[in-house]
């Protein structure tokens, strides 16, 4: 079983595979020479010709054979490492490059959990494919032929009997392969689905706790884990049964070789030293193929992982815009916009709205109404929409991603800070920003006092900003967004799940930015939207109401109902 596409992708590693096969053959040749030397010693013992002049060269020869075999085996192991290391690097680079080409919309084509799984454990499985399976496959074909050439001059019937039994092992492997391929495909599917569920539940753990749905999801994951366990047990059962079959063939073939050798010895066609050498070497006919069988299941797992990697690499790539934006005033126009993550269910239906330059626009609605999806579409993070979204009169899908990122910045619910210093994180917004400007944006985000106390711009940021509170992290992310000088800022639930002081500081900053920049605030908390020039109310993917706060409250519609419900709840909790 050879995966042609995988071999082609790892062709740079094939020279190490070839070197490993050659070194294994050298080790085999040294072993044959050692057995031949021992057979000569046996012959000398039987004939009484053992002298000092014979014994010393025999010992030196044996030690030389052992040294050559040891050196060749050790070098082959090093070649195995080089072959597997090279292909792992190649595959991970290919996956990384593919994700960059897919861009922020990659989740429309492949699940994050699957990418993590195949880039981690999947690639590690392929390591064994190149490091062990492929070299052993070629060596298992070469070794029996070499042994046949060595034994046939002494006893052709024994050599033929041994080499005829060797193909029975690959026949057994081929018989198992049909079942194994289906099982391993099911194994990786269940593994990916379990990882996807785990990641989704982990990311939404706060929501699950709020709605007391964590126990339900835990039971659901238990069922998925049990399904994965059953698939894993079937794979292991198949592997163990196939190993038993291969062992029977290998040991049976070696026993047949010994029987034929003894028969030839009894008939006088072989001498005792020759029979001794053939008996010792008979197992070598089957050991390479038996070892190949033990690697086969790992190779099948690696091949199944490679198929999933190729599925990701073959995912259709979105058309990337190339147009530049010479001058942007912050105007956004959305016309008859519809979008669906899956064809069967639209998330947005025929949305039409306009955002004037310098306006403060609020977007609200129940969870799942399409608010964050609209924000992602505005930022070009999702593709495949119908209708029109224009920024400065240019269709968003036609704008080059780097151009769009210069003019429109999204501050998400949970902003990300990289491990390093605060200065390094801020300069991602503007690499040429002066120290004074850095402090200005920190002051605008009401976080400069904390930064001074924590060590200034060179204060350390831990991985995932774990040394900061949620509110501190969010305000620092907003400060970085301000550095971009983007004409349009989109705050996507940027004040959710943070402390009251940080929420109030962000609200003041948003009011200050209004007029200076176009600001869009996506929020389920209506108190954050009361100062908006206009509020867009979404329900099940449709824009159902639009207008300022007072007008919407007076209209007595969906917004008014949400406002009263939130107001009553907050008053009861006060």
Tens of pLDDT, residues 215-234: 888 888 888 888 888 888 88
Give how far Cα 173 sits from Cα of 177, 183, 289, 304, 314, Å. 6, 15, 10, 16, 30
Q: Is the pLDDT of residue 256 over 70?
A: yes
- What mean pLDDT do residues 381-406 have? 84
Using alpha carbons, select from 404, 422, 416, 414 the residue that is nearest to residue 484.
404
Q: Is the pLDDT of residue 71 over 90?
A: yes
200-214, 305-319, 348-362, 424-438: least confident range: 200-214
- What mean pLDDT do residues 541-550 have? 88
- What mean pLDDT do residues 190-205 have? 76
Q: Is the pLDDT of residue 574 over 60?
A: no
Q: Is the pLDDT of residue 541 over 90?
A: no
**pLDDT value at residue 439:** 93
44-58, 315-329, 463-477: least confident range: 44-58
CA distance 501 to 566: 20
Q: Is the pLDDT of residue 201 over 90?
A: no
Q: Is the pLDDT of residue 114 over 60?
A: yes
Highest mean pLDDT among 31-45, 130-144, 185-199: 130-144
Q: Is the pLDDT of residue 11 over 60?
A: yes
Give how far Cα 426 sits from Cα of 457, 485, 506, Å. 9, 13, 18
**Topology of domain 332-573, per CATH?**
Rossmann fold (3.40.50)
Chain centroid to CA 37: how far? 52
Q: Is the pLDDT of residue 21 over 70?
A: yes
Highest mean pLDDT among 250-254, 291-295, 430-434, 501-505: 430-434
CA distance 199 to 380: 24
- What mean pLDDT do residues 554-570 have? 81
pLDDT single digits (tens) 469-498? 888 888 888 889 888 888 888 888 877 766
**pLDDT value at residue 51:** 59
Same topology between domain 82-313 and domain 332-573: no
135-139, 250-254, 279-283: least confident range: 250-254
Highest mean pLDDT among 106-115, 192-201, 486-495: 486-495
Q: Is the pLDDT of residue 173 over 70?
A: no
For all residues of the chain together, what is the average pLDDT?
Answer: 82
Using alpha carbons, select from 260, 258, 254, 255 the residue that is nearest to residue 290.
254
Q: What percentage of the chain has pLDDT greater than the value 90?
A: 5
* More confident site: 447 or 124: 447
* More confident site: 375 or 251: 375
Q: Where are the domains of the chain?
A: 82-313, 332-573
Q: What is the dihedral of CA 215, 219, 222, 226, to 10 degrees?
A: 170
Q: Is the pLDDT of residue 48 over 70?
A: no
Greatest C-alpha distance within the chain: 118
CA distance 490 to 520: 5
**pLDDT value at residue 23:** 92
For the entire predicted model, the pTM comes to: 0.64
Q: Is the pLDDT of residue 413 over 90?
A: no
Q: Is the pLDDT of residue 253 over 80?
A: no
* More confident site: 283 or 521: 521
Residue 25's pLDDT band, with cuts at 50, 70 and 90, is very high
Q: Which CATH superfamily is domain 82-313 in?
A: ABC transporter type 1, transmembrane domain (1.20.1560.10)
CB contact burial 338-376 (16+ within 10 A = b; e otherwise): ebbeeeeebbbbebebebeebbbbbbbbeeebbbbbbbb
> How would you class 135 by CB atoms within 10 Å of its CB: exposed for 0-12, middle for 13-18, buried for 19 or more?
buried
- What mean pLDDT do residues 282-296 have? 78
Q: What percentage of the chain has pLDDT greater than the value 70?
A: 91
């Amino acid at each position: 079983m050879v995966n042609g596409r995988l071999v082609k992708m790892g062709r740079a590693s094939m020279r190490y595979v070839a070197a490993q096969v050659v070194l294994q053959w050298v080790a085999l040749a040294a072993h044959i020479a050692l057995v031949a030397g021992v057979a000569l010693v046996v012959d000398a013992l039987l004939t009484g010709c053992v002298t000092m002049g014979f014994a010393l060269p025999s010992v030196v020869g044996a030690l030389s054979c052992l040294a050559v075999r040891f050196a060749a085996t050790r070098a082959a192991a090093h070649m195995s490492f080089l072959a597997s290391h090279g292909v792992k690097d190649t595959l991970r680079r290919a996956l990384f490059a593919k994700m960059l080409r897919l861009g922020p919309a990659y989740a429309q084509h492949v699940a994050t959990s699957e990418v993590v799984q195949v880039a981690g454990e999947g690639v590690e499985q392929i390591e064994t494919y190149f490091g062990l399976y492929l070299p052993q496959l070629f060596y298992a074909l070469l070794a029996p032929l070499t042994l046949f050439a060595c034994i046939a001059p002494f006893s052709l019937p024994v050599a033929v009997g041994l080499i005829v039994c060797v193909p029975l092992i690959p026949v057994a492997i081929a018989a198992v392969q049909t079942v194994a391929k289906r099982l391993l495909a099911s194994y990786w599917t269940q593994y990916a689905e379990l990882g996807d569920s785990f990641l989704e539940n982990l990311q939404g753990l706060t929501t699950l706790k709020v709605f007391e749905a964590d126990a339900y999801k835990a039971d659901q994951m238990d069922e998925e884990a049990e399904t994965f366990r059953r698939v894993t047990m079937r794979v292991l059962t198949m592997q163990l049964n196939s190993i038993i079959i291969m062992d029977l063939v290998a040991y049976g073939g070696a026993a047949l070789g010994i029987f034929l050798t003894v028969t030839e010895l009894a008939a006088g066609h072989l001498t005792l030293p020759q029979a001794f050498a053939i008996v010792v070497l008979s197992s070598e006919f089957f050991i390479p193929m038996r070892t190949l069988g033990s690697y086969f299941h790992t190779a099948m797992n690696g091949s199944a992982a490679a198929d999933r990697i190729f599925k990701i690499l073959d995912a259709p790539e979105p058309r990337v815009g190339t147009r530049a934006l010479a001058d942007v005033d912050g105007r956004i126009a959305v016309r008859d916009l519809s979008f669906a993550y899956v064809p069967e269910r639209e998330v947005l239906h025929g949305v039409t709205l306009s955002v004037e330059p310098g306006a403060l626009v609020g977007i609200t609605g129940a969870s799942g109404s399409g608010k964050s999806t609209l924000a992602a579409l505005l930022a070009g993070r999702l593709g495949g929409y119908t209708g029109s979204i224009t920024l400065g009169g240019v269709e968003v899908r036609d704008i080059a991603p780097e151009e769009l990122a210069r003019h429109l910045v999204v501050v998400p619910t949970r902003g990300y800070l990289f491990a390093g210093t605060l200065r390094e994180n801020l300069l991602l917004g503007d690499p040429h920003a002066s120290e004074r400007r850095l402090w200005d944006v920190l002051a605008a985000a009401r976080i400069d006092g904390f930064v001074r106390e924590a060590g200034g711009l060179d204060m350390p940021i831990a991985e995932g900003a774990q040394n900061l509170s949620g509110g501190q992290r969010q305000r620092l992310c907003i400060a970085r967004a301000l550095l971009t000088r983007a004409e349009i800022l989109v705050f996507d639930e940027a004040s959710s799940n943070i402390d009251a002081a940080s929420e109030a500081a962000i609200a003041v900053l948003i009011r200050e930015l209004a007029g200076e920049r176009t600001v869009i605030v996506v929020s389920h908390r209506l108190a954050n939207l009361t100062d908006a020039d206009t509020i867009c109310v979404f329900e099940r993917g449709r824009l159902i109401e639009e207008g300022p706060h007072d007008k919407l409250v007076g209209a007595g519609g969906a917004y008014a109902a949400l406002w009263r419900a939130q107001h009553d709840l907050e008053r009861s909790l006060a």
